[in-house]
Chain A
């Protein structure tokens, strides 16, 4: 049986390698898809959790150093892209932009902004998600340009908001003015002694609002980087590389397993079944051939991603290999079953395309399942794709070794599915052979 299987595997691989066009497609198509998907995902996943940038129209009527600094700081914020309005335009122009839906938001820096005049935010209230990001951006930019002044301003504004008459706040200023002076001299002295760098607070370039906020608020943070993760890799890149790989090898494997149907159409299946061999050898050899092709393809895709997306799998080569073996085994079993139950090429193509696309969507090959509703996540667990992607993400993103129980569970599910699918395929094939349908 082993000898016959090898004879047939060699024949199948030879046929596969001979069809140069099909071969190019089998390799190039996945590469193109991985490229497109990863590029989109890296663009989106840059820093604002998968949201596209928010376009904000901005009109600077002040044209002061302070307003320039604000524009620079605000425009620097990730997830916000500023569209500067013509200096000649007016507030009404900004309102019209938002009203006509051309921009969701507009910001007006009025004359006197440097002297403390309020900036104005013109907004479309329907865009609440974006508004959160935008508010953080505004606060941050104000902090970066006004610095400590902003804190005092916030204080008097909050008193005012609480209903305390403006003239009463002078009572507080009697205390705060000496306090501010004391603070200033504290910083000057500290700088002289070398505890802080001169201009520490005024230096907008190095100011990290996020870090500052986390420092001054009663929040403790600790960064835990999984030991194996490469620093440069983002969640979206590692996710889309594994997702697209899992989806594309399924397509390629079905393409290989389909030769079972071609053999039927060409009549060579009759010859195989008339030969003095165990008929399951035919199935076994298709499985092995497809399996080898699948492993090569996974390697090519990961190597390509490593070159193009700084996505290195070499530090974890053993875990990646084990997961790939399980993934390719289960996908091959799936492809084989499709080929066995179909009665024509067209049927196999249609059936596999639908199933692979649905499994990819539900299993999280396109979008991480954490962005999906609870129901989808539950259903997703019934797909092959889900377990493969989980396993790959456990190594690429979390840096786990394959001996870790999390990955072992994924591997168990994948191999279990592979066994069940192969078993069913073999049963169906035998039944069809006995009823004369296999040839």
Chain B
């Protein structure tokens, strides 16, 4: 079975700082791959290269069997669903207006039903006509997720979609993501919550200092790290060390 997304030797530099350094991985259809890594590991940068915001310095991406160069090819950009790390919404527009705008921009064939689908996914049917700035953090998170999956893409990139949400919203978002997987879609998911990752993800890729340290199921990683039976958090710390990242590099 060929991978949905194949990334080979992806490299990106901000000036002289190497943010992503020869990273290779693949995402299968119907799979949730977690991309883990300490702060500044290069997760967001890698995702930005994938969705066509940054031009990789090196590396080859293949999506659905096609050479993937989203920055240069507008038609390829819409094929991935993107849920950015920050809440990328128009606060002065209502939930429905946000969904409609992005649906139209992506040329979704039936924007109205896409909006209805998005509202349902975000569980915001009752607040469809309210402006986003009147929403709580968790509601905005759910809408952020809904906007990113409007086009029903075969692969969705989720950059920390769970920040600041309560257990109810979290469960709702989990269900939504699992739903996507069950429809045979692929998902690349970054998070700092090991619990979330253990609950949701099929495989885990661990990045540090721009490099991919390990990739596999949590059990495989634990064995690889020489601590079988350990939970994901211990494995993660074993692989990436205990020092804080923000002050170094």
Residue ranges of A at the interface with B (Cβ–Cβ < 8 Å): 4, 7-8, 11, 14-15, 18-19, 266-268, 270-278, 434-436, 439
Residue ranges of B at the interface with A (Cβ–Cβ < 8 Å): 14, 48, 51-55, 70-71, 74-80, 82, 84, 86-93, 97, 101-102, 104-107, 131, 147
A271 & B102 in contact (Cβ 8 Å cutoff): yes
Q: How far is the CA of A267 from the CA of B82 in the complex (A)?
A: 12
A15 & B92 in contact (Cβ 8 Å cutoff): yes
Residues in A with CB closer than 8 Å to B102 are: 271, 275
A14 & B93 in contact (Cβ 8 Å cutoff): yes
A11 & B84 in contact (Cβ 8 Å cutoff): no
Interface of B, helix, strand, loop or mixed by DSSP:
loop
Residues in A with CB closer than 8 Å to B101 are: 7, 11
Report the minimum CB–CB distance from B17 to chain A (whole Å). Answer: 13
Residues in A with CB closer than 8 Å to B84 are: 267, 270-271
Residues in A with CB closer than 8 Å to B74 are: 276-278
Contact of A267 among B52, B88, B131 (CB under 8 A): B88
Report the minimum CB–CB distance from A8 to chain B (whole Å). Answer: 7
Instruction: Provide a sorted-by-A list of 27 A–B residue pairs whose CB atoms are within 8 angstroms.
Output: A4-B105, A11-B93, A11-B97, A14-B93, A18-B92, A18-B131, A19-B92, A266-B86, A267-B88, A268-B88, A268-B89, A268-B90, A270-B48, A270-B88, A271-B88, A271-B102, A272-B105, A273-B53, A274-B77, A274-B80, A275-B105, A276-B75, A276-B78, A277-B74, A436-B53, A436-B54, A439-B48
Q: How far is the CA of A55 from the CA of B208 in the complex (A)?
A: 81
Contact of A434 among B55, B82, B91 (CB under 8 A): B55
Supplied contacts A11-B97, A274-B82, 6 more A-B pairs, CB within 8 Å: A7-B101, A11-B93, A268-B90, A274-B51, A276-B107, A434-B71
Q: How far is the CA of A7 from the CA of B131 in the complex (A)?
A: 19
B105 & A8 in contact (Cβ 8 Å cutoff): yes
Residues in A with CB closer than 8 Å to B55 are: 434-436
Contact of B91 among A266, A272, A278 (CB under 8 A): A266
Report the minimum CB–CB distance from A342 to chain B (whole Å). Answer: 20
Q: How far is the CA of A222 from the CA of B77 in the complex (A)?
A: 71
Please, which residue of chain B has its CB at the minimum distance from the CB of A18? B92
Question: Given that A274-B53, A434-B55 are contacting pairs, would A267 and B106 also be in contact in the complex, using a CB cutoff of 8 Å?
Answer: no
